[in-house]
Amino acid sequence: MNASPEIQLNGRRVLVTGAARGLGEGFARALVAAGARVVLSDVLHERGQALAAELGQTYVPMDLAVPEQVKAGVDAAAHALGGLDGLVNNAAITNSGGKTLDEIDIDTWDRVMDVNVRGTWLVTRAARPHLARSGQGRVVNIASDTALWGAPRLLAYVASKGAVVAMTRALARELGAEGITVNAIAPGLTLVEATEYVPQARHDLYLQGRAIQRPQVPDDVNAAALFLLSSGSGFITGQVLPVNGGFVMN
């Protein structure tokens, strides 16, 4: 695992949602390697607790679909760290993969929006006072390049990530006066447990369409997240950074 040691976040206090596996686990590991203090949160409690223990960090349970848990979880994270300097809004669900617009049911649509969109808003809202007190607060939203190219048979997820992109820009304007930057990373199809369901044809589409023609792994996204959480990114806000080997280019 490449820890991107050239980016140092010594003492920075960061909350990562959805940190028990996949990209979230990669962010947590990279942050610790860069010297940050991290609170991991997830709904996969056993895995989250085990990873936090391995890294010598703190785990806080948090279901983004339950507003009361979000506020309590963020406050618990800030208490454990003595404040918050950074937030990685990584937690999300897919649930609509492989289904056409006619096959997605309303409950699935609402569940995806509750977690991916409303949950991102609620976590950021709860973290805002803590990040403001930091004086150099950083929010990194994990979007998806599927919202940039309009991936088919994934409509609820794509729509939710498009909303995260739009919300990133609005939040950047609302929070800028408090010294808080808000940016988004839009990863491409990454080889993690959560994407094991993806058909080989979609993997092939990405592989053939990338300028850098190899599979994408979590380490490819870590350095971008570390930079956007660093002091060096203090004049960058409201931006969306595709990290996908050139499959989508802005």
Catalytic residue numbers read 157
Beta strands in 86-229 (DSSP E): 86-89, 138-142, 181-187
Residue positions counted in the chain: 250
Going by C-alpha positions, the residue among 19, 21, 58, 35 that lies closest to residue 230 is 35
CB-based contacts of 47, cutoff 8 Å, min separation 6: 20, 21
Rounded Cα distance between 182 and 164, Å, is: 11
Residue pointed to by tokens 């080889």: 191
**Contact at 8 Å (CB) between 147 and 158?**
yes
Residue pointed to by tokens 């990338």: 210
Residue 37, phi then psi, degrees to nearest 5: -100, 130
